Amino acid sequence: MKAIFNYFHPLNKLKREREKYLAEHKLPDNIKALLSAPLPDLESNVYSLDYLSVDFETSGFSPETDSLLSVGYLPIINQQLLLSKAVETFISSGEKIKAETAIINHIVPEMLEQGKHWSVVMDKFLAAAVGKVIIVHGSVIEKRFLNHYMKKRYNLPPLPLLWVDTLKLEKSLLMYKNNSETQDFRLGSIRERHNLPEYAAHGALVDSLSAGELFLALLKICFEGTDGCVKHMKFDFSRAI
């Protein structure tokens, strides 16, 4: 019975999907390295995994018509947020920044003038993600823009990556049973409920830090009093949005 459970566990299904992806597509070395990195075993401890907390800032919700403006991320190793290895990079864009998004993320045209090409920024992000579980709060934007990038740059379908969405993780808590629809699940609001500090600034780096801190807080709540096995982690296995 255990063998059957393990075979059909979504994490082992993801492993088989990666093997199929590697076999069916001619991949550049960076993507091959990303997908060849071993996924965690079901019996591994969630606290022993390496994570990468990520945030994309964009000019809108659609990668076909909107632009990726900045990418921020930092690793979480041994339950420590490695601020010394944090990265935030602006992306050069010919698109006029929308006033409504500038109010939210404080990105103005001057910040993008010295930005890098999106292929440089995204490939650097993918290199940083090798061997790590990707942490994000509300995965829609990140997955949409990453999927669009893979299609446009490499003509590849969505990557079989391992994600944890802190938004979904928060919603899974028993405290929201039967009334989750009435709650405010914005990153700042959730952090406030967990007594995490408020950050005045807003951007890819700050939000990746915010999501990373929230993830560590949720990890302790979700696995308190348990063996902390990976098989019980609520990963986000979806690729297409």
pLDDT of residue 216: 98
Return the H-helix or E-strand segment holding 5.
helix 2-8
Q: Tell me: the pLDDT tens digits for 13-31? A: 999 999 999 999 999 999 9
Say if residues 218 and 234 touch (Cβ distance below 8 Å). Answer: no
Q: Set out the domains of the chain in order of their start, with CATH numbers.
A: 2-172+180-232 (3.30.420.10)
Judging by DSSP bridges, how do beta strands 163-165 and 80-81 pair with one another? unpaired
Q: Tell me: the pLDDT tens digits for 179-234? A: 756 688 999 999 999 999 998 777 899 999 999 999 999 999 999 988 999 999 99
| List of E strands, the chain | 51-58, 68-77, 80-81, 87-90, 133-136, 163-165
pTM reported for the whole predicted model: 0.91
pLDDT of residue 103: 40
User: Which residues are 74's β-sheet partners?
Assistant: 53
Q: Tell me: the pLDDT tens digits for 96-136? A: 555 444 444 455 455 556 679 999 999 999 999 999 999 99
What's the CA gap between 69 and 107, in Å, rounded? 8
Helices 29-36 and 118-128 pack at an angle, to 10 degrees, of 30
